[in-house]
Amino acid sequence: MTTRQDFSSTIHEVALLGTARKSLTMPQVEGALGDLLSQLAQRYRRAGADEETKSTEKLLFDVAAVVALYEVCGQMPERISTDLPAVCEPDALPFCPPRTRQFFTHMLEGQHADVLPEALLLAVEKGFCLFADLLPALLELGTKRADLRDSITPVLGERGHWLARQNPAWEWAEAASTMEEGELEEVWQTGSRDKQLVLLRELRRDKPSRARALLASTWEQEATEDRVSFLRAFEINLSEADEPVLEAALDDRRKEARRVAADLLAQVPSSALVRRMKERAQPLVNVSTSGVLKRKAKLDVMLPAECDKAMQRDGVEPKPLHGIGEKAWWLMQMLGAIPPYVWCEKFGLSALEILQLTRSHELKSALLGGWERAARRHRDAEWVESLWAERVQAQSISYWGEFSTVGLVSAVLPPERREEIIVGELESNNNFFREREGGRHPALRLLRQYRHPWSIKLTTAFINRARQSISTFPTDGESLGMLADAALFMSPELAEEAARVFNEAKAREQMSSILEKVFSTLQFRHCLHEAFEEVIP
């Protein structure tokens, strides 16, 4: 009697050698399988001598199929050796209104994907979580797009966070706030680098001291590249309590870690690094007065004599950037670490008055560059406003780089104040959209970095200025890109008005395609907002 396993081996052998070299002999197998194989053999014998070869090949394939199905049907389900996951807690938040489902589906499929951040924000503001069946697609998107994760996690709900725990690729969405102390420790000690970083950033928001303690517990064992990423997380809720960890990192073996630590310490006004920089820089920058009534002020600046080891430890790079002198570069970095109000107190002058003293100074670029860094690090709104006004007046706005003037305003001033600046320029400047000496109008560049929903007032001012300029609206890449951006942020309440204005330019060949996109985006956003207003019974 032949066993099923032996016959399976025979089938494989015949299939490899071919029926011309090895014949298929039907075995004696007990049970239902044997009966079926006998029936197959009888049927093929009746096929006739003329089809002998063909019938043998057919018989081989049919027998192989029967045995394979028999084996599959006979397999027992695999037993899971691990414990089943805990049951998901019910969602505390309601799902988004039903009409929004089609919008989220389209965006997750790639249609109007740029509108997704706004849709997620609307869901959070109105207290909704996303539909359960769309959670896998949203988690997959967050895995690919780290920039969207902060927008995604608030709408996941209990089900989304539970789902994230079942897939290692989605671990970035696991909420530290729901973990027990033992779980936190386990994730930190054994989790992947990405999971550790997510955990550290979340703890910095809610429990900065716990985040600090976790990092300190493993600092010596961390890889050098990981230390840099972990230190950058200290930007969240940075305080003087973080100084011991950061001060120690100034002596780290990796230059990038030292640089990040120095930058963070320069943002803490009470830090020892800031005090050391003040001691170095304050004697170098002074104001003298002349004239009969001592009313004519002058900025007296001396350059540092050297960049010693202590200065380099505090983050001063000895090698200058292109286009700036070596010693001026050292001074600029020193100024960038000192809270700008220090100079107002020392000179008894306002920020704008101090900046006006730099207008004809030979070290103007170094002074302004240093104070721009300082204003950004210490989020000094008065200095930012004054620097903006001075740069606009001198037509010396810097647009690019880590400490650009436009980036400075965008990083420090609150959205409502930035809106006021942009609206003021839109309402008063007839050449807002046109090329001018030195490039585009600075407020237009500021508008491009304003990634917030526009108010009715800003949208109205933009539409009115566009209406006056639409016949001569520039068609270069930057201007058309600005239009595409505007469609993402204009108030959807004025979508129809905007469409009427821009429709006048649709006949211009260079603008037709971008305007089609603008109209489509505005319409989609308008309908999305309406869908969120649906009353849920």
Helix axes 381-394, 405-412, angle to 10 degrees: 150
One domain for residues 233 and 267: yes
* pLDDT band with cut points at 50, 70 and 90 for residue 508: low
Number of domains in the chain: 4
* Of 5 and 238, more confident: 238
In a domain, 88, yes or no: no
State which of 212, 237, 271 marks the end of a domain. 271
Is the CB of residue 311 less than 8 Å from the CB of residue 270? no
Inform me whether the pLDDT recorded for 15 exceeds 90: no
Inform me whether the pLDDT recorded for 151 exceeds 90: yes
Average pLDDT, the chain: 86
In a domain, 325, yes or no: yes
One domain for residues 339 and 361: yes
Confidence (pLDDT) at 293? 52
In a domain, 94, yes or no: no
Confidence (pLDDT) at 24? 75
One domain for residues 263 and 181: yes
* Of 166 and 265, more confident: 265
* Of 49 and 87, more confident: 87
Confidence (pLDDT) at 436? 54
Q: Whose CA is closest to 1, among 23, 30, 25, 38?
A: 30
Inform me whether the pLDDT recorded for 222 exceeds 80: yes
One domain for residues 244 and 277: no
pLDDT in tens, 346-371: 999 999 999 999 988 999 999 999 99
In a domain, 468, yes or no: yes
* pLDDT band with cut points at 50, 70 and 90 for residue 113: very high
* Of 400 and 83, more confident: 83
Confidence (pLDDT) at 291? 60
State which of 218, 237, 271 marks the end of a domain. 271
Inform me whether the pLDDT recorded for 144 exceeds 60: yes
* Of 41 and 227, more confident: 227
Inform me whether the pLDDT recorded for 253 exceeds 70: yes
One domain for residues 137 and 260: yes
* Of 160 and 174, more confident: 160
What value does the mean pLDDT take over residues 173-190? 76
Inform me whether the pLDDT recorded for 164 exceeds 80: yes
One domain for residues 179 and 159: yes
Q: Whose CA is closest to 170, among 201, 187, 149, 200?
A: 149
In a domain, 470, yes or no: yes
pLDDT in tens, 484-495: 888 999 999 998
State which of 31, 48, 74 marks the end of a domain. 74
One domain for residues 264 and 356: no
DSSP string, 202-235: HHHHH-HHHHHHHHHHHGGGS-HHHHHHHHHGGG
What value does the mean pLDDT take over residues 164-182? 78
One domain for residues 229 and 280: no
Inform me whether the pLDDT recorded for 110 exceeds 90: yes
Is the CB of residue 104 less than 8 Å from the CB of residue 120? no
* Of 386 and 84, more confident: 386
Tokens 């011309």 belong to 20
One domain for residues 17 and 39: yes
In a domain, 103, yes or no: no
One domain for residues 138 and 267: yes
One domain for residues 364 and 452: no
Helix (H, G, I), strand (E, B) or coil at 264: helix
Task: Please state the pTM of the whole predicted model.
Answer: 0.76
Q: Where is average pLDDT lowest: 72-81, 166-175, 414-423?
A: 72-81
Confidence (pLDDT) at 396? 67
* Of 470 and 453, more confident: 453
One domain for residues 265 and 139: yes
**Which residue range(s) make up the domain with 249?**
131-271
